[in-house]
Amino acid sequence: MESIVPEPMQSFYDRFHFSPAMVHNGIAMISGVTGMRADGTCAADPEEQARDLFTSMGVVLAAAGLGFGDVLEMTSYHLDMAEMGAFMKVKDEFCVEPWPAWTALGTTGLVLPDARFEVRVTARTPSGS
């Protein structure tokens, strides 16, 4: 197994003892990612926060040598399902066909008080294609 820890996420690895991603046997498991910015805040606007989330997800994927075209499955968690339109608009800017399998769940809370969404994905590595 290989732990993937992009430089901007090293403090999370050290403080909370989790890997942003683990790669094993051609599969990459990406931990839940929120729309938290480098300064620790989340945008108030749902669309902007979703864009920050997918940008951060791209950082983790890139650190594993992957891109959004390698995503097989995505699970998203939403504080307010009424914001699904904003989320889907941004998701479709990053994800590509063939679309990954996707499950969207409503929840009452996320790890960050201002987070609106959290997403985890499973992706295939080039050796797992």
Q: What is the mean pLDDT of residues 94-117?
A: 94
Domain count along the chain: 1
Between 14 and 103, residue with greater pLDDT: 103
Query: How high is the pLDDT of residue 129?
Result: 47
Q: Which pTM value belongs to this model?
A: 0.92
User: Which residues have C-beta within 8 Å of that of residue 15, sequence separation ≥ 6?
Assistant: none
pLDDT in tens, 36-94: 998 889 999 999 999 999 999 999 999 999 999 999 999 999 999 999 999 999 999 99
Q: What is the mean pLDDT of residues 104-127?
A: 92
Question: What pLDDT score does 95 carry?
Answer: 95
pLDDT at 128: 55
- pLDDT of amino acid 12: 83
Which residue reads 């403080």 in tokens?
15
And the tokens for 128?
Answer: 């797992």
Integer Cα distance of 117 and 83 in angstroms:
10
Q: Which of 104, 124, 107 is nearest to 116 (CA)?
A: 107
The domain in which residue 93 lies consists of 2-128
H or E element at residue 49:
helix 46-63
Residue 69, domain CATH? 3.30.1330.40
> In sequence order, what are the beta bridge partners of 16?
none
